[in-house]
A and B are shown apart, each in its own frame.
Chain A
Amino acid sequence: MAVTRERLTRALAPKVVAVIGDKQASGYNWLRSMKDFDGPVYSVQVDENEIPGIEELGIPNYKSLTDIPDQVDFAVCAVPRQVAPFIVQGCVEANVGGVTLFTSGFAETGEDIGVELQDKIYEIAAPSGLALIGPNCMGLHVPGLGVRFNRDQPAGVQGNIGFVSQSGTHGMNFSLTGAAHGLYCSTLVSFGNGIILEAADYLEYMADDPQTEVIGMYIEGARDGRRLFKTLREVAAKKPVIIWKGGQTEGGGRAIRSHTASLASDQAIWEAMIKQVGAVAVHNLDEMIDVVKATLLTKRTQGNRLGLIAMTGGQSVVLTDAFEKAGWKVPTLSEESYAQLSEFFNIIGGSYRNPLDAAGTIGQDPKHLDTIFDILNADENIDAVGMELSATFMARRWQDKPEEFDRLIGSLKKFMAESDKPFLAALHPSHVEGAALTARQRLQEEGIATFPSFERAANALRKASALAAV
């Protein structure tokens, strides 16, 4: 019996949660991670030695799932592998919506006993329609409902990113590092061995989930590649999808007799598949965060011509290099723009050809930045605008005179509100890293797409612009 959407929704957006088998040795991580859950949390533990510690946390403990007086929507199971089939049986009997099997030691070990236990779990779960997540995974994180698998993950904040991860670590790192960049998940699932529900199931759910605006995925391989391909094609037509493919699948080892087969490496096929479905490929966590950020915070352009604002001549040059290397053009501005710029731009130690080396001009009068933005907004040669925010020069000053930083942010937000052209900022870490970090966090809070290097900014905007879904 297939897992129904109703059953999957109960599991992924639960009202009642149970944790099975948490113990002192793990610091009651699962129970503690659920402390901000937006609803009742129950514990199931039969070990008399563990029960007092659980009750000290203020969490009611039961000896069996069926003893819990509520209908459990989502359960986390952290028991030894030999016990796991019995727990899954209990979930079926108690009509639990879904269960995460944190328990590992199954088919991934390659051992016969692991494969047998996994098969047994499959045989129990599959006919019942139980939404089984895993095994060998971290499971579910829904910050809006306070569902976490790690105590440092955010809770009480409604995010807008769906994240599907074959790996628990990469899922967790995305939720933690992403939050430090102001990016929060609507639903994050680490699905491990994926014996009942696989990536395509979660993608379909997220495509329909109104909270989810963009979808990220970390994947190493697909059990049913045809289904993943078809699902991604449908999902990526609705929402932007960003895919990080890890590892290389080994070839079949058969004798290859054609050029086509010899060139069809795992990497080539995955890259082609990602392009074909209208998603974009990224290659590490930083790039995932950058592209998700650009997708959420910048507008889209079909064009590739950039207007750049830098603080010094040297940075103008390398800023241009970084963007041109990523496929952007940094063209000359229109005659009209030059005519207007010539009226006020300080060309002693500055330049307005494009990039606009503008520190002196803006320093003279901060209103000049608004004028520059107006000119770039009107300029027909320009599709998008990027700006260097120099922590090296400015972070200490922003600290001492926060009103100057406020005014800068006001100018950026005014341009973002008035223009259809994408805007993004680069703020390098500097010798004043603490101050730079404070500035970056403030920019994030204001919804300004800020990147720690020119290269990352250029790449993020290019990949976000390539996404099929707008």
Chain B
Amino acid sequence: MTDVIAAARAEQRTLLSEVEAKQVLAEAGVNVTETRLAISVDEAAAHAAELGYPVALKVVSDTITHKTDVGGVELGVADEESLRAACQRIHERVTAAAPDAQAQGVSVQPMAEAGVEVILGITQDQQFGPVLMFGLGGVFVEVLKDVAFRIVPLEPRDAAEMVREIQGLPILEGVRGQPAANLEAIESMLLQLSEFAEAHPEIAELDLNPVFARPDGAVAVDARILLTSES
């Protein structure tokens, strides 16, 4: 994983791509959807064939912070024909929305089985150092700011309290016949991130958004890592 970070440093980049971030996280034991970089449509089709349809495609670019905002995401791509069309649409939309953006290609990942969308994150506090965040994802995090924080290192009790502290807990526990999410899986992921943050002080910010919290576990389907500016 230091290779990925060292490579980014060598290129004087502080933002890791989704593919790089997931590689680093997977090595740390965090459950992420397997995600591969494709620099051509043919390569994307080859990855999708190996990973299995349906897949998600996302533009990979150092200069684009919010992929959805520039139309750089296609979800639920069912087969190769759809994939080729989807790659073309991403290219057209991103070129229109961000003509100056440098795109390295697209990431290809299998569509994860949906669950409750949650966000897990790391940031550095000026006084307390690495800090972990947990909350419901999507609109909940953006509008309601329904999140819980803890200082690293977390003890198991801290992870358990964080998950249960948010107002939206009943959504995780299953409302209107929805199955309950596996809270222990989220707690484990928080503890993994705590260790990860301790081992890597060069991580300035990390968002796993969303993580799908399901009855059978939790998986991060998008990841963003920002390194500290000083190496």
In the complex, B119 has a CB within 8 A of chain A: yes
Q: Which 4 residue pairs are nearest across A and B when measured between Cβ atoms?
A: A260-B121, A225-B127, A272-B149, A258-B205
Is B209's CB under 8 angstroms from A272's CB? no
Question: From DSSP, what is the main secondary structure of chain A's interface residues?
Answer: helix
In the complex, A263 has a CB within 8 A of chain B: yes
In the complex, B32 has a CB within 8 A of chain A: no
Shortest A259–chain B CB gap in Å is 5
Instruction: Report chain A residues within 8 Å CB of B128.
Output: 222, 225-226, 229, 269, 273
Instruction: Report chain A residues within 8 Å CB of B229.
Output: 254
Q: How far is the CA of A318 from the CA of B163 in the complex (A)?
A: 33
Please list the residues of chain B having a beta carbon within 8 angstroms of any beta carbon in chain A.
15, 65, 119, 121-123, 125-129, 131, 133, 135, 141-142, 145, 147-151, 158, 161, 204-207, 209, 224, 226, 229
Q: How far is the CA of A275 from the CA of B157 in the complex (A)?
A: 12
Q: How far is the CA of A225 from the CA of B149 in the complex (A)?
A: 15
In the complex, A401 has a CB within 8 A of chain B: no
Return the chain A residue nearest B208 by Cβ.
A260
Shortest A228–chain B CB gap in Å is 8
Is A276's CB under 8 angstroms from B206's CB? no
Query: CB-defined interface of A325-344 with B at 8 Å, one 1/0 digit per residue?
Result: 00000000000000000000
Given A263-B145, A269-B149; A258-B127 close (CB under 8 Å): no
Is B149's CB under 8 angstroms from A257's CB? no
Is B133's CB under 8 angstroms from A264's CB? yes
Is A259's CB under 8 angstroms from B127's CB? no
Q: How far is the CA of A140 from the CA of B99 in the complex (A)?
A: 65
Interface centre among A228, A252, A275 (most CB of B within 10 A): A275
**Residues of chain A from 35 to 82 with CB closer than 8 A to chain B in the complex:** none
Shortest A253–chain B CB gap in Å is 10
**Residues of chain A from 233 to 277 with CB closer than 8 A to chain B in the complex:** 249, 251-252, 254, 256-261, 263-264, 268-269, 272-273, 275-276
Is B147's CB under 8 angstroms from A263's CB? yes
Given A257-B205, A276-B150; A263-B141 close (CB under 8 Å): yes
Query: CB-defined interface of A441-462 with B at 8 Å, one 1/0 digit per residue?
Result: 0000000000000000000000
Instruction: Report chain B residues within 8 Å CB of A225.
Output: 125-129
Is A221's CB under 8 angstroms from B65's CB? no
Contact of B123 among A222, A249, A260, A273 (CB under 8 A): A260
Please list the residues of chain A having a beta carbon within 8 angstroms of any beta carbon in chain B.
221-222, 225-226, 228-229, 249, 251-252, 254, 256-261, 263-264, 268-269, 272-273, 275-276
Q: How far is the CA of A259 from the CA of B210 in the complex (A)?
A: 11
Return the chain A residue nearest B65 by Cβ.
A257
Is B133's CB under 8 angstroms from A260's CB? yes
Shortest B7–chain A CB gap in Å is 19
Shortest B49–chain A CB gap in Å is 33
Return the chain B residue nearest A250 by Cβ.
B126
Contact of B206 among A229, A251, A258, A263 (CB under 8 A): A258
Is A273's CB under 8 angstroms from B151's CB? yes
Q: How far is the CA of A24 from the CA of B115 in the complex (A)?
A: 74
Contact of B207 among A229, A252, A254, A260 (CB under 8 A): A260
The 26 sampled A-B contact pairs (Cβ below 8 Å) are A222-B127, A225-B126, A225-B128, A228-B127, A249-B127, A254-B229, A258-B123, A258-B205, A258-B206, A259-B119, A259-B121, A259-B133, A259-B209, A260-B123, A260-B207, A261-B204, A263-B133, A263-B135, A263-B141, A264-B131, A264-B133, A264-B149, A269-B149, A272-B149, A273-B151, A276-B158
Return the chain B residue nearest A261 by Cβ.
B123
Contact of B126 among A252, A268, A275 (CB under 8 A): A252
Shortest A466–chain B CB gap in Å is 12
Instruction: Report chain A residues within 8 Å CB of B65.
Output: 257
Instruction: Report chain A residues within 8 Å CB of B161.
Output: 275-276
Is A259's CB under 8 angstroms from B129's CB? no
Is A229's CB under 8 angstroms from B151's CB? yes
Is A264's CB under 8 angstroms from B125's CB? yes
Contact of A259 among B125, B131, B142, B150 (CB under 8 A): B142
Return the chain A residue nearest B207 by Cβ.
A258
Q: How far is the CA of A352 from the CA of B34 in the complex (A)?
A: 64
Contact of B129 among A226, A256, A260 (CB under 8 A): A226
Instruction: Report chain B residues within 8 Å CB of A252.
Output: 126
Interface centre among A225, A259, A260, A261 (most CB of B within 10 A): A260
Q: How far is the CA of A273 from the CA of B154 in the complex (A)?
A: 11
